[in-house]
Structure 1
């Protein structure tokens, strides 16, 4: 893209292309020989243990006498475009046969408090598991009308939060 032998200065060429001048002069640093050896061994280990993340790879390398930190392993994994293969949560796919309800508020102008309430349930990671948080919010004022925390995903705490919001009316 940038032609250093062109009569137009490099500064002007970079400006015309919409790139920074420093990126024109940047030369990527080559990977060291030690890192290449580590990367080769990491590739072998990844083929043997595809579920291993940066911590497990670090431990496997240390067992072989290669002293390396987890962050360095993670950096090399990014450079090599490898990542641990594991089962991820499958929470966004709807169950076949479940009814999909229409969004009823699409064309409704929300102009005053207590016209529309929304609720949301979220989980907060803790040292040993999760706690679940439900909040009832007024859509117009964004005021939290009530909230509850529970250690189980049962409906009781949601109903309690809704009853508290209704009692506050």
Structure 2
């Protein structure tokens, strides 16, 4: 069962089990329960897509080398 499915099983109105105990029993992080996920910005999606394309082109590069050779230059 995926984490979102387990998170959906939480009962916030349960007086017998606290949210903390329910999260522990369901193996769900409490931070994902209390905070709603932020909507993804279009700029963030474009950046993630370009990083993915770079990684698919050069999968042997680590994050340090990819950051040095593929990062856009400042001001241009």
Q: TM-score, normalised by structure 2?
A: 0.52
Q: Quick one: distance in 2 between partners of 1:2 and 1:21?
A: 11
Q: Could you tell me which residue of structure 2 aligns to residue 46 of structure 1?
A: 55
User: How far does residue 3 in structure 1 lie from its aligned partner after superposition?
Assistant: 2.4
Aligned: 1:35 with 2:44: yes
The aligned runs of 1:64-143 (5 Å cut-off) are none
The structure with the larger Rg is 1
Q: Decide which structure has greater strand share.
A: 1
Q: Quick one: distance in 2 between partners of 1:66 and 1:52?
A: 25
For structure 1, the residue ranges without an aligned partner over 5 or more in a row are 68-169
Aligned: 1:62 with 2:66: no
Q: Which has the higher contact order (CA 8 A, sep 6+)?
A: 2
User: How far does residue 27 in structure 1 lie from its aligned partner after superposition?
Assistant: 1.8
